[in-house]
Structures are given as structure tokens and as C-alpha cells.
Structure 1
Amino acid sequence: MTAEADAPEMTPELAAQIAAIRAKYAADVANGLDHFFEPPRTTCPWCFSSKLRTHLTSGDQIQHKPGRFTLMACRSCGHIFQNPRLSLEGLEYYYRDFYDGIGGAQVEAGFELGKDGNLARAQHLKQFFPADPPRRWVDVGTGYGHFCRDARELWPDTRFEGLDMGVSVEEGKERGWLDEAHRGFLPELAPGLAGQFDVVSMHHYLEHTRDPRLELDSAAMLLRKGGILMIEVPNPESIFGRVVGRWWFPWLQPQHLNFVPRGNLMQALRHRGLTPVLEVRGESHIPVDFTFLVALPMLWFAPYPGMPWMSEDIDPAQQKRFERVLKIGPKAHAAVQPLEKLRTKLAHVTDRGNTYRVLARKV
């Protein structure tokens, strides 16, 4: 992804859309940002240890909405979490116009690049359903349902359903990518869907949640006996991520609230009656590390001007910086692709990628 790809074209329609919502953004921050955050924690939300350290601080890495965000690490269990954590009001503010609205087209363009990864994920299930396909499969945090659309190529007889809090899941059903749309929060919907699914998938969902342990409880509730839970999350033990700090894309502040180390997740699954049956590390690596190591600083240096959460008066110097980045962005993107390919090869060889994937069976 390049800076050029991240910049929506300023059409008259987009300009009108920005003008219509600018007042709402101004009202949201008129009394400061404190209401976007909960009180800071003094203990780890995973193991409740008080042995904490600051891991990194960052601004909004993509949209550059106002605010500073801190990730803290637990010295006891390794869990990394946002502290202070976004409140529900903060989540609504920082998610607004990211996956939909102004930012929706750019994010969806990124999802369209993920087909190979989606097929690789869906392929894992072949060894666990060798004769009959899974009857019902729900993808949690599905967005529009790109994963379900792609996985259907391998599982044409499976009923694919999506669960998400946003309106995108309903649009995914309208597109025909989802056989059913469940809109809302998983812990609230789980009791009404208990024991109905052969497969529950969560791809880069758990890191967005406020309480990942509660989400695992809910996912286990959805599964039938013998059903498979598939989880993929960023790897907080990534050496690359620790070296480059806030410029590592998977830290993605402020949306990513919790980062669960692999050992913690394995233990949590077993405690919920889920036996890990497959673990994928190097092969689950997503080739974005060097791409965003270049793109994020450029976006920080020259954010897209005129967004509704920014000043309406565009600084000429800012406009020039942005135009300069638009010109050099594609060249910089091309220049780092050999490094991206090398990074991917090393991840596969060493089993040290930027993500890990676990499949577990309910017993």
C-alpha cells in the first residue's frame, strides 16, 4: 500500500460529505479528549499483575485524529494493552470514517488484496472436514464479508454467516457474500447463537476487542461439539515489531486494544474446553512490514489535508508536503518490495512472522 493509495480523491461529492460532518467532529472535541478514555489501569487486564511498563506511545497512525495513545506491557505474562483504554465514546470517534464513510473505499481496497491469505486460511479446514463440509460457518469481525466470499470458493456448500458491529455486515449480505448477517457485539449475540456453528473464525478481530477473554468465552459458546475455532492475531512477540516501535503497522493505534502472546492464547483456549489442533506462525506472515515502515512516516509527515477532524483552513505548506509525498510514495513503495519479499522468506524459515494463527477444537 502506498501513500497514493491511502489518499481519497477530493471529488465534489467527498468535499460535500466532509463539509456535512465537520461540525460533528468539532463538537466531539470541544471539551477536550478526556471523555474518549477510561481511567488508567494499574493492573494487567489478562493476569491482573501490577508489574507494568510502558511499551510505546503513538498518535493516530492512519487518520491523524487528535490524541496520544499508550501501549503498556505486563512484565508477568507479556500481555500488551492500551492504557488508558478508549471508552465506548472514544471507540465510536476513532472508528468513525475509518472502515466506512470517508475511509471506507481505501480500507476495502486493502481487503481486496487479501484473497490469497483468505484462501490459505480456509484451506486449513480441509484436514478437519475431510468428508462432509462444515454446515454453518460464522466469521466474527467480518466487515463486508471478504473472507466469506473468498472461502466459499473452497467450501461452496457451506452456509457462511458474518458477525460485526457495523453496518458493513448488512451490506455484505446484500452483496450476496454472506448468507446471514448478525449485527452487534459478539458477547451480546452469543447466547442466542449458542451451539449452532461448525466453524467460528476470527481474523484480526481479537486485538480490537475490549475484553479478549470474554470474546473467547463467547466464541466457544457458538461452537457445536467438535467444532473448530480459528483465530489469527498480530504477534506481539515479533522482533521486527519491537525494533521499529510505533512504525510497525500491527500496533495500529488507536484501534488495537489488546495483544495476546501465543502462550497466553493457548492456555486460554484449553481453559475453555478448546484443544489446539493446528498452529501456524511463519506461513501466516502478512507482507506489510517494510511497506508500512515507509508509508506510516510519510503519512505522519504529510497527512491528507482537509479532513473533517482537521482545520478547515489548509496550510499551503501542508498541501505542498502532501503533494510531494504523493509523488515519491509509489517510488518508495517499489524500492522496499525486495526487502518485503526477503522479510517474508525469513518469516517462513524462522517461524517468526508478524502474525500467528491457531485452530482449536471444542471437546
Structure 2
Amino acid sequence: MPTSPRTTTPQAADPYHEPRRENCPWCGGERLRTRARAAAPGRRGPGTCVMDECRDCGHAFQNPRFTVEGLALYHRDFRAARNPSPRAVRRRHRAAARTVLPLAEPESWLDVGTGHAGFPEAAREVFPYTSFDGLDPTPRVEQARLAGRVEEAHIGDLTNPWILPHLYARYDVVSMFRHLEHIPDPRAELRAALTALRPGGHLLLELPNPQSAFALLLGRRWPPYRQPRHLHLPPLANLCAELENQGCDILTTDRRTLSSHTYRIVARKPTEPS
């Protein structure tokens, strides 16, 4: 269940940080510990990013969380940063698409947080007869539609009440790749994804492994422009439990195909209301 934040009031107004939480946003537990700090990249950043972990459920989250203004600086630096090899990304996307191959032959697929729709473009090699749509908060998805990488482009957030009703029960598969960790309310995003799925449809998630992320941060091997974008680092067990609470069946979990730095979940929405 979502928890109300217990916060401490900052001594001075900070345009880049929200008030610090004193409880876990996932379970409400108050036994928090700081696991990692990442210094701001460059000289224009809004300060240090702190990741706390709940000792009760293992959920990790940015605390205090950056405001919209603070995140905007990091998103700017992230877009300007060097991206991974396109060939490696395409190979990873094809491997992710193949996890659905033994489970379904989808007619329609929505990729959430699709950006320029690199995943739909690669996944079409695995599913040539599937119709791929994309959703993204930026106009990049419209550019992807014009380039033919998706058939429909939706600009905005999945939980937006003006968008979600148009997506209700439309898709056989909804995918989120390295997306859920950037969302202020991951539970609401999961519920919205299940709303967009048809009964019996499949949800495909890929997220960072929190323990690996902490190891990279402590070893100063995580590029500093990436970390502040991660608002949450939920453990695999927490997400599986949440999906099961929503009535889903967990079909596969995988930490090995990519690396220990990530994990992947494929879940099936119930065919009848739970």
C-alpha cells in the first residue's frame, strides 16, 4: 500500500530538493539507512544525490528527492552524455523481446518510456506482425512515429487521466525498460500498465538491480550523470509481490541474460478480475 511521507522541514528553501522523508515510500518502515551518495556532475548540478534503503523491505529510494528543477539539470546532462553502443542496445532489446516469444504472439504492444522507440524497432525483428505503439513524456515518440518505428505515438505519462482511458485494455504486451525507477510512484505506474493490458496480457519489466547499483556507486563506477535520475530502486522480490497482489502470475524472472546489474520480470495479467 502507498504510504504517506513523514518528512523533515529543511532549514532553508532549496529549489532543487524536496523535504527529506523519514519513512519508506514502499512499506512505510522507519528503519532507513543511507547506502550511497553520488556527487553532482559538473559545476552546475544541484548537489549530492543520496540513496536510502529501508531495512524492513529493502526498497531503495532517493532521499531527499530532487524537485522538477533539480531533475531538469540532470536530464539535460544525461541527454548530452555519451550513449552506449547502438549495436549493444539493439542486441539487448532483441534479447528482451525474445523472452515473450514462448509465451504469446502479440497483436499489439505498447512500449512505455520508449524515447526514440529503439526497442520497438529492434523487437519488430522478432515479432514482424505485431503492431507497436509508443508512449513517452517527450516529443521524441512523435518523431519515432514519423520515422515508422511505432504506429501510434502517445505523448505524456501513463497515469495521465487524459491518456490512460484511451489505452484501456488495448494491448497484448506492455513493456517498460529502465523506466519504472524514474517514476515518482512506481505502484501507480504498474496499475496503469495493467489497465492498458487486455485480460491475459503480459507485462515485461527491466530494472536495475539495487545491490549492483550500490556496488557501482560505492566503487565510483556508475557514471554520475545517471544516478540522480533514479528515484527508486525496488528489489525484485518487492515488485514480484506487488504484481502478485494485483492478481498477476509471475512467469519468468531473469538476472542472468543481461548481467547482474539488471533484472527482468515477465508477468501475466489475470483473465478475470481479481
The bucket for the TM-score relative to the shorter chain is 0.7 to 0.9
| 1:283-338 Cα distance to aligned partner (Å, 9 max, x none) | 121xxxxxxxxxxxxxxxxxxxxxxxxxxxxxxxxxxxxxxxxxxxxxxxxxxxxx
In the TM superposition, what are the counterparts of 1:141-152 in structure 2 within 5 Å? 141-152=113-124
CA distance in 2: counterparts of 1:124 and 1:216, whole angstroms: 19
CA RMSD of aligned residues (A): 2.2
CA distance change for structure 1 residues 63 and 81 in 2, over 3 Å: closer, same or farther? Answer: farther
CA distance in 2: counterparts of 1:174 and 1:62, whole angstroms: 35
Bigger relative contact order, structure 1 or 2, given CA contacts below 8 A and separation 6+?
1
- Paired residue for 1:91, among 71, 74, 87? 71
Superposition deviation, residue 36 in structure 1: 1.8
CA distance in 2: counterparts of 1:241 and 1:228, whole angstroms: 30
Q: TM-score, normalised by structure 2?
A: 0.87
Aligned-partner residue type, residue 116 of structure 1: R
CA distance in 2: counterparts of 1:157 and 1:357, whole angstroms: 24
Of the structure 1 ranges 221-230 and 166-175, higher mean CA displacement relative to structure 2 is found in 166-175
- Residue in structure 2 matched with residue 8 of structure 1 by the alignment: none
Superposition deviation, residue 35 in structure 1: 1.2
Which structure dedicates a bigger proportion of its chain to helix? 1
Give the match's secondary structure for 2:143: helix
CA distance in 2: counterparts of 1:187 and 1:246, whole angstroms: 36
- Paired residue for 1:172, among 144, 153, 171? 144
- Residue in structure 2 matched with residue 124 of structure 1 by the alignment: 99
Whether the aligned pair in 2 keeps the contact of 1:140 and 1:162 (CA below 8 Å) is yes
- Structure 2 stretches lacking a partner, 5+ long: 1-11
CA distance in 1: counterparts of 2:43 and 2:204, whole angstroms: 30
Residue 20 of structure 2 corresponds to residue 40 of structure 1: yes
CA distance in 1: counterparts of 2:196 and 2:42, whole angstroms: 34
Superposition deviation, residue 126 in structure 1: 1.2
Give the match's secondary structure for 1:178: coil
Superposition deviation, residue 55 in structure 1: 1.0
Residue 91 of structure 2 corresponds to residue 184 of structure 1: no
Q: TM-score, normalised by structure 1?
A: 0.66
Residue 218 of structure 2 corresponds to residue 207 of structure 1: no
Superposition deviation, residue 96 in structure 1: 2.7
- Paired residue for 1:219, among 193, 198, 202? 193
- Paired residue for 1:357, among 254, 257, 264? 264
- Residue in structure 1 matched with residue 245 of structure 2 by the alignment: 271
- Structure 1 stretches lacking a partner, 5+ long: 1-31, 286-352
In the TM superposition, what are the counterparts of 1:1-363 in structure 2 within 5 Å? 34-61=14-41, 65-96=45-76, 98-99=78-79, 103=80, 106-107=82-83, 110-129=85-104, 133-188=105-160, 189-238=163-212, 241-242=214-215, 245=218, 247-249=220-222, 252-285=226-259, 353-363=260-270
Superposition deviation, residue 61 in structure 1: 4.7
State the number of aligned residues.
Answer: 256
Aligned-partner residue type, residue 182 of structure 1: H
